[in-house]
Amino acid sequence: MHLTLFKTILRDQLHRPWLTLLLILSVALGVAVVVAVDLANASATRAFQLSTEVIVGKATHQIVGGANGFDDSVYRNLRLQGFRNAAPIVEGYAGAKELGGQTMRVLGIDLFAEPPFRTYITAGTNVDVNALTAFYTQPGAVLISADSAARYNLKVGDTLTLQIGTQKKPVTIVGLMRQPNEVSSRVLEGLILTDIASAQELFGLDGKLTRIDLIATDEQANKIAAALPEGLRLVRASEQADTVTQLTAAFQLNLTAFSLLALAVGMFLIYNTVMFSVVQRRRMLGILRCVGVTGREIFLLIMSEAALLGLIGSLIGLGLGMLLGRLTVALVTQTINDLYFTLTVSDVNVDAFSLVKGLLLGISSALLAAALPAYEASAVPAVTVLQRSDLEDRIRRLLPRLNVIGAVLIVIGAAILIFGQSNVALLFGGIFIALFGLVLYVPVVTIFLMRIATATLGRFGLIARMASRTVTQALSRTSVAIASLMVAVAVVIGVTVMIASFRSTVENWLAQTLNADFYITTPLAGANRVVTMDPALVEKARAVEGVQNIEVLRSVTVRGLETGDLRLNATQGGVARESRIFRSYSGDPSKIYEQLNAGAIAITEPFANKHHVAEGDTLTLLTDKGAQSFPIVGVYYDYSSDQGSILMSLDVYRKFWNDPKISGFSVYVAPSYDVNQVEDAVRVALSGNDVTVQSNRALRDAALVIFDRTFAITRALQVIAIAVAFIGILSALMALQLERTRELGTLRATGMTLRQLWRLTLLESGLMGAAAGILAIPVGLVLAAILIYVINLRSFGWTIFFTSVPEVYVQALVVSIGAALIAAIYPMVRLSHLQVIEALREE
Amino acid sequence: MVSANGNIKEAFIRFGNVTKTFHEGDQERAVLQGVNAELARGEFVAIVGRSGSGKSTLLNLLAGLDTPTHGDIFVDAINIAKLNDNDRTLFRRKHIGFVFQFFNLIPTLTVRENVLMTAELAGWKEADAQAQANRLLDAVALRERADVFPDKLSGGEQQRVAIARALCADAELILADEPTGNLDAETGAKILELLVQLAREKNKTLVMVTHSSEIAEQADRVLRMEDGKLKVGN
Amino acid sequence: MRRIIVVISVLAIVSIAAFFYWQSQQRAPVATEIVALQSAQGAEGFARVTEPREMQFPQDHGPHFDYQTEWWYYTGNLTAEDGRRFGYQLTFFRRGISPGVVTARASDWATNQIYFAHFAITDEKNNSHNEAEIFERGAAGLAGASGEPFHVWIDNWSATGSNPDASAVKLLADDAKMALDLNLNASKPPVVHGENGVSQKTETKGNASYYVSFTRMPTTGTIRINGENFSVTGDSWFDHEWGTTALGENAAGWDWFSIQLDSDQELMFFQIRNKDGSIELLSSGTLVEADGSTKYLKRDEVKISVLDTWTSPVSGGKYPSKWRVEIPSANLDLTLTPLIADQEMRVSFTYWEGAVDVKGTSNGKNVRGQGYVEMTGYGNARGDVGY
């Protein structure tokens, strides 16, 4: 590339800083969103891996058992047989008020078995010998990370009050853990380390272990597995970790898809900006062509400019993304904690790979978006024949072809959505393709809408007619702006309708299934976390006057032969009371509960979808009494977990598992009693035990709070998409005006007032906004339908009942037209500064 | 072929039955209807005619900016009518210097950069291009303004820069489209004098489109366009 | 007795060395750190050996939780059927962090005891010496000790009494490279060392231990080394020692000798070397006659001359490797030669403990014999920069 040639472009950029800024900003915004989401995902994943590394250490296998741990003789026997690469673990979760109320993982270890496995305290002089001695001998002695201690102003000798199950237990900090490496020290922040004896005492697991870590060859592992008592199983450590990461895969992918959507809208914007700059430079490009610059050189010129600005924008986007990442990581972590597993991510882990990815995405999308304008620039005729752009003619001639391509893309997208199974990445690919297909219809629909506008508005005078004609005549600019705004608004409609439908479905479900008057759980209860409560509390509550009935729940993780780890909910005899809405069942629906009491199980809808099982099938579960088959009698709706769960009668559960503990219970108040009074009385009866008593209403609200929190990040992304689209409309309007400077000058010269020109601009912009809004409604509905009937059903396994949200359509129109009108303000300001004489002189 | 001064010269440029038709909506309009002409090396030819007579179209075809619907245009034995866009551009870069009515300087380049750009595009070494640009800026008496941007120059000065640009790559053919049309009479006359003088000094072929019969009088030969056809003579 | 010094000295330095050690070896440094603490901290609350003790066997073969440190030490020289010579060492250490045992806690795993063990086999033919070390908490049945019945174990390493008075035991130990399964049967009654049953280490009252031995335990059984099994016979020596003791600040290391002669005599002698090169005055020993009678040997009754030295290529320590032991008062003149030169124990702390061959005269008659020698404080690397 000739240097002088490049100067023409670079100096031009400097002459129009706001345009340059707009392009850079559009790249930066898109990249920032992608990077932020990616960083959040990567941080969550990395945090999970690190905590796995810390928790699992170098273990190759693990021996795991039932919800209540297993007898420690298993470990003793291993040791006494001379197998020394084994470490006993007693593990649980506890809240710690002094640590900001976060849920901590309490890991009980045997110092002498640890060295081959984990290094957090054994590496070097992390923890001094006095601390280790206290740790080893003193009941309730714990180590926490030095960082946590610093953050919460704690020091050695301080007491922590651990919330374990229904009880509060004081422990003493005897030492602080440090890691040489910043990343791994972060993981320690979620960890309370204690001696295994203390852990047994804290969790009431005397004589029991929750896990044994092993470093074993396959041969050794097989031998050990063969000798394990019923109810225990040996798993590969990596397998355990994989299962957990898979939990969040769909969720994280959804986020990524939304972030890519923001980038896609950003691409429209880049297209607009580059097109704008090409339009502005037509004259200069024409001169260049005249003096012998080839079309190819001009193409390269525009592309290298886009690459350069794309690079700058991407770099800014990376910075912005890292800042934004702090916000998203909090949202993502919160959701993961709400829905999946306990995860401590206190900081954004800036992953080089995410950054490189963001950079490449930014530059390549800038190039992709600039390709068409650059091509147009290369086709700019030499200056002497400079006439009104023939691009519009070309576009119009292209229209039939665009429509055909659009139709093909829609068909392909639909095919992917129909046949794409449950591969979320593929399904989102399908959405993108179909959406792009729909976008290609924007020009033709715009022409049609403008015709209607001309016919209806035309009556209001020349200016109105001019406005609608301008939109049609400058189709190459306007249709892209309309399309980007339309996509953004359609996404908002789609997601809003989906979330609203989902929410009302969940609300209905909660209303129909939560029948008890109030619920007693432990403060730490949460999704996929096994919590344990003393069964004696049930009797205490039952003794309260006015309590008519109590239903006990035991919720544990068990192993299914075909399905891997799964959540089992066992409820007492009166299963029937807690009504479940069955999607499908075998046999007599009124007999389902009898069948359950006789040993059958029911499964939730996500479980059925995830594991491809249904009524009539059987599941084999590894019980404390060995492998047992359970027939499935029905599939019921459940929105509490995308992993699904199975339902069993508590009596059946206790028959096969040696587990007298419970996870919570619900209370039904006798008709003649006041619910609030009984609730208070139960509270009093259970005082001294730290239990959470939640009314039916409160529980429902709590569930919906989590629901809303889950979708918080989705909403945040929507806002960004709208912002990007807004800038798109703005730059399209600017391009339009610039292109028509002479025309506008003429209009002014021939007597049109500034006010009239403003009206013209507002009308044009408003018409574009209205077109985008009108188009967005059907597209948004299609999107909502896809999200509801395809994505959610296939990737999460939830049936959502479509709820129409009429106000969203009004909202869509208001947002589109509003955004367009606001975008018109700056061009209007510029109009006021229009120098009529100079405008006229322009070619 | 006989030139104005009577010497026999070999044909440098030859138009062979050139027609050009434009589509305007559904209608066709023939702008050139079989133009035949030959131009000799070093000749100064003026093309005159009314607006819409096709004179600018002819110039554009000669510049390789457009292609004829039918016919051949030979420049130095190359039929530019048969070249593709890219080859025409490369041809233009090497062989043609352009002077426009509206000067058409690149606003983001300095005076010197505007001039040397054509040499640079033609593949000159940077030092050579610089030296050539300086020489030409001396010739058009604008050396001292070499580092300002075009918008600081008067119309006459801008056109002198454009002349320097047209000559910088040592193109053999200088095309001028109403070069004085946007200037006052006095300045226009000076510009014309400069252009013709430089073209003759360097033995360039100069083809100029103009309305002005005064200018046409200075040409070696005048080609008159009427309704897309060439009338030889005044 | 000497092992007290092993433990205590080691403990003091390991806390410094542990970090470097961990980096190079990746082995149980936690335990050594905890153990190390004990030398730094006082032994408050623990009983001290100040008075003669009326030994009650077999319970006194068991643990004494009121005292801080205790070990059960088996060494022996074995011969395979084809005459191939082996030496072995199997030692169980107990370390109390606080006096007594933990009773008030709900968890079985709660404890204040640390157990660790050293196991080594010397193979003369292959000129090889392998060692292993394990640590375990003294709880949950993983490691422990009892007198009645006699049983000391860590994981699958154990010494188990085969008769009520613990004069017969079965030893089991197993590691990747080696294993042993031996039956020991004492041919003489237990010997109580020291003056009036108190083995004094320094002049400070309480810096002493109770020290009981079976000085000759004919042994049969099998050992496995590098996948090869050998039926072996020979003689073992058992020491059981406990106390709450620290060496004097002057001590640089010690040398300990146990010798079994074919005259059916046995000799134990230890000397504590001071930093100034002198020998601690309270170094002492015991001579056991064929009839089981014992004679207390004072430091000035025994003359030990070093005839040769060996430098460890690993630790860099320069150890004596041949001795002449003269005891004019017992009419003994013996020369001790290691079975192989390199019997250095490279575990959490480095020392030398190995089988020796003995030749010489007793009461003017030629005698032959065998024994075990322990030396600490010679290395200048790692754990034995003497104290």
Q: Round to whole Å and give the CA distance between B111 and A370.
A: 30
State the average pLDDT over residues A97-114. Answer: 84
- Asked if A289 reaches chain B (Cβ–Cβ under 8 Å), the answer is yes
Residue A710 lies in a domain: yes
Contact residues of B toward A, CB < 8 A: 56, 59-60, 63, 65-66, 85-86, 89-90, 92-94, 96, 98, 100, 102, 104-109, 113, 116-118, 120-122, 165, 169, 177
State the pLDDT confidence band at C40, using cuts at 50, 70 and 90.
Answer: very low
Query: Is residue A154 domain-shared with residue A193, that is, in the same domain?
Result: yes
Nearest to C379 by CA among C227, C244, C220, C253: C253
Residue C132 maps to which CATH number?
2.40.370.10
Residue of chain A with shortest Cα separation from C20 = A124
- Contact criterion met (CB < 8 Å) for A82 and C27: no
Q: What is the mean pLDDT of chain A?
A: 80
pLDDT band for A250, please (50, 70, 90 cuts).
low
Q: Which residues contact A506 (CB under 8 A, 6 or more apart)?
A: A639, A703, A704, A707
- Given a contact cutoff of 8 angstroms between Cβ atoms, the answer to whether B218 and B44 are in contact is yes
Q: How many domains does chain A have?
A: 4
pLDDT of residue B2: 41
Contacts of C174 in chain A (CB under 8 A): 82
Q: Is the pLDDT of residue C31 over 70?
A: no
Report the alpha-carbon distance of residue A820 to residue C92 in Å, rounded: 85
Among A478-482, A490-494, A520-524, A569-573, the least confident range: A520-524
Q: Does C140 touch chain A (CB under 8 A)?
A: yes
Q: Is A772 exposed, middle or buried (0-12, 13-18, 19+ CB in 10 A)?
A: buried
Task: Identify the pLDDT of residue B81.
Answer: 85
Cα B156 to Cα A377, B140, B143, B147, B153, distances in angstroms = 30, 11, 15, 17, 8
Query: What is d(CA B213, CA B218) in angstroms, rounded to the nearest whole number?
Result: 9
CB A184 within 8 A of CB A54: yes
In this prediction, residue B1 has a pLDDT band, given cuts at 50, 70 and 90, of very low
Eight-class DSSP state of C49? B
Query: Which residue range is the domain that position A195 belongs to?
Result: 70-209
- The CA-based diameter of chain B, rounded to the nearest angstrom, is 54
Does residue A477 have a pLDDT over 50? yes
* C66 backbone dihedrals φ, ψ, rounded to 5°: -75, -20
Mutate to test the interface with C, among A80, A114, A135, A206 (most CBs of C within 10 A): A80
Q: What is the pLDDT of residue C230?
A: 96
**C-alpha torsion angle, residues A690, A703, A657, A620 (rounded to 10):** -170
Q: Residue A520 pairs with which residues in a beta bridge?
A: A665, A693
Q: Which residues of C touch A75 (CB under 8 A)?
A: 140
pLDDT tens, position by position, C46-81: 888 888 888 998 899 999 999 988 999 999 999 999
| pLDDT at residue A475 is higher than 50 | yes
pLDDT, position C172? 96
- DSSP-assigned beta bridge partners for residue A567: A557, A645
Q: What does the alpha-carbon distance between residue C147 and residue C166 come to, in Å, rounded to a whole number?
A: 8
Name the neighbours of A, counting chains with at least 3 Cβ pairs within 8 A.
B, C
Are residues A321 and A43 in contact, defined by beta-carbon separation less than 8 angstroms?
A: no
Question: In terms of pLDDT, which residue wins out, A419 or A745?
Answer: A419
Q: Do chains B and A touch (3 or more CB pairs under 8 A)?
A: yes
- From chain C, pick out residues whose CB is under 8 angstroms from the CB of A217: none
Q: Which residues of chain A make contact with C156, given a CB cutoff of 8 A?
A: 79-82
CA of A627, closest CA in chain C: separation in Å? 30
Average confidence (pLDDT) over C279-285 = 85
Residue A576 has pLDDT above 50, yes or no: no
DSSP-based three-state secondary structure for A227: coil
Quote the CA–CA distance of B198 and B204 in Å, as a whole number: 8
A54 plus A130 within the same structural domain: no
Where in C97-142 does DSSP place strands (E)?
A: 113-123, 128-137
Q: DSSP code of C195?
A: B
- Span B151-161, pLDDT tens digits: 888 888 888 88
Chain A, nearest residue to C14 by Cα? A129
C89 pLDDT more than 90: yes
- Residue B106 within a domain: yes
Domain boundary among A643, A660, A690: A690
Domain count, chain C: 1
Q: Both A782 and A638 in a single domain?
A: no
Task: Count residue pairs from A and C with Cβ separation < 8 A.
Answer: 106
Residue showing tokens 């710690």: A96
Q: What is the DSSP string of A723-743?
A: HHHHHHHHHHHHHHHHHTHHH
User: Domain boundary residue among A671, A690, A709?
Assistant: A690
- Using the 8-state DSSP alphabet, how is residue A573 labeled? S
Helix or strand run (H / E) with residue A181? none
Cβ contacts below 8 Å, chain A against chain B, sum to 88
CB–CB of A382 and B59 under 8 A? no
Q: Give the tokens for residue C302.
A: 């025994």
Contacts of A286 in chain B (CB under 8 A): 104
A179 to chain C, closest Cα gap in Å = 14
What does the pLDDT read at residue C19? 30
Residue C142: closest CA among chain A residues belongs to which residue? Answer: A76
| Three-class secondary structure assignment of A589-606 | HHHHHHHHHCCCEEEEHH
Average pLDDT over residues A57-86: 87
The single-letter code of the amino acid at A501 is S
Say if the Cβ atoms of A284 and B108 lie within 8 Å.
yes
Same domain for A77 and A195, yes or no, is: yes
From residue A519, how far is each of A665, A677, A680, C259, C386 by CA, in Å?
Answer: 6, 14, 12, 77, 67
pLDDT of C108-159, one tens digit each? Answer: 999 999 899 999 999 999 999 999 999 899 999 999 999 989 999 999 999 9
For strand A86-96 and strand A159-164, is the pairing parallel, antiparallel, or unpaired? antiparallel
Angle at A132 between CA A130 and CA A133, to 5 degrees: 65
Over range C299-327, report the average pLDDT. 92
Domain-terminating residue out of A363, A387, A411: A387
Band the pLDDT of C23: cuts 50, 70, 90: very low
Q: Are residues A580 and A452 in the same domain?
A: no
Q: Give the closest of C19, C26, C156 to A125, CB-based.
A: C19
In a shared domain, residues A551 and A678: yes
Is the pLDDT at C11 greater than 60? The verdict is no
d(CA B32, CA A790): 63
Residues of A in contact with C141 (CB under 8 A): 76, 80
Chain B interface disruption, residue of A284, A384, A843, most B CBs within 10 A: A384
Task: Reply yes or no on whether the pLDDT at A183 is more than 70.
Answer: no
pTM, two decimals, is 0.64
What tokens appear for A236 in the block? Answer: 């590969």
Residues A455 and A504 in one domain: yes
- Provide CB contacts within 8 A for A56, sequence distance 6+: A62, A213, A237, A240, A241
pLDDT band at A170 (very low <50, low <70, confident <90, very high): very high
Question: Quick one: A634 and A764 in the same domain?
Answer: no
Count up the domains in chain B and report the number. 1
pLDDT reported for residue C32: 47
Mean pLDDT for chain B overall: 82
Range of the domain at B152: 44-59+84-232
pLDDT for res C159: 96
Query: Given this model, what pLDDT does residue B138 score?
Result: 87
CA atoms of A682 and C105, how far apart (whole Å) = 33
CB C288 within 8 A of CB C279: no
Q: Is B34 inside a domain boundary?
A: no
Please report, for the domain that includes residue B153, its CATH number. Answer: 3.40.50.300
3-state secondary structure of A294: coil
Q: What is the model's pLDDT at position A254?
A: 66
Contact A122 C23 (CB under 8 A): no
* Cα distance between residue B209 and residue B54, in whole Å: 10
Instruction: Quote the percentage of chain A above a pLDDT of 70.
Output: 82
Token reading at A593: 């509960």
Q: State the best of A1, A8, A9, A291 to mutate against chain B, taking most chain B CBs within 10 Å.
A: A291
Of C97, C109, C136, the CB nearest to A197: C109
Question: In C, which residues are within 8 Å of A114 by CB distance?
Answer: 30
Determine whether the interchain pair C31/A76 forms a contact, defined as Cβ–Cβ distance below 8 Å. Answer: no
Question: What pLDDT is recorded for position A245?
Answer: 62
B69 located within any domain: no
Option in A75, A80, A123 nearest C22 (CB): A123
On whether residue A429 sits in a domain, the answer given is no
Q: Which two tokens stand for residue C81?
A: 């059927």
A169, A117 in Cβ contact below 8 A?
no
Q: Cβ of C106 and A137 within 8 Å?
A: no
**Residue A21 three-state SS:** helix
Give yes or no: residues A503 and A601 share one domain.
Answer: no
- Residue A196 domain-assigned (yes or no): yes
Question: Higher-confidence residue: A488 or C16?
Answer: A488
How far, in Å, are A61, A98, A115, A210, A254 from residue A105 at the CA level?
20, 15, 20, 13, 28
Nearest CA in chain B to A9: B108
Residues of B in contact with A295 (CB under 8 A): 85-86, 89
| Shared-domain flag, residues A710 and A735 | yes
**Rounded-to-10 torsion of CA B180, B181, B183, B187:** 30
* pLDDT for position B48: 86
Does C36 lie at the interface with A, CB-CB under 8 angstroms? yes
Classify A409 as helix, strand or coil: helix
* Nearest CB neighbour to A112, from listed C22, C23, C30: C30
Mean pLDDT, range B2-14, rounded to an integer = 58
The answer on A468 and A342 residing in a single domain is: no
Quote the domain boundaries for residue C158: 2-384
| pLDDT attached to residue A843 | 45
Q: What are phi and psi of C136, to 5 degrees?
A: -160, 150
Q: What is the pLDDT of residue B232?
A: 62
**B137: its two tokens:** 């800026």
Residue B109: its chain A contacts at CB < 8 A?
A: 4, 7-8, 11
A749's CB contacts (< 8 A; 6+ apart) are: A836, A840
Which residues of chain A neighbour B116 with C-beta distances below 8 Å?
4
pLDDT greater than 70 at residue A581? yes
Q: Which residues of A touch C (CB under 8 A)?
A: 72, 75-76, 79-82, 84, 110-112, 114-116, 121-125, 129-130, 132-133, 136-137, 139, 195-198, 200-201, 206-207
Is A129 in contact with C33 (Cβ distance < 8 A)? Answer: yes
Distances (CA, A) of C16 to C32, C114, C116, C347: 10, 20, 20, 15
Angstrom distance (rounded) from CA C238 to CA C187: 12
The reply to whether A590 and A630 lie within a common domain is: yes
Q: Which residues of B touch A381 (CB under 8 A)?
A: 65-66
**Range with the poorest average pLDDT among A286-295, B62-71, C17-26:** C17-26
The pLDDT assigned to B3 comes to: 43
Tell me: pLDDT of C37 over 50: no
Residue B8, pLDDT score: 45
Structure tokens at C352: 């030398």
- The answer to whether residue B23 is domain-embedded is no
Q: How far apart are CA B138 and CA B46, in angstroms?
A: 27
CB contact under 8 A, B109 and A11: yes
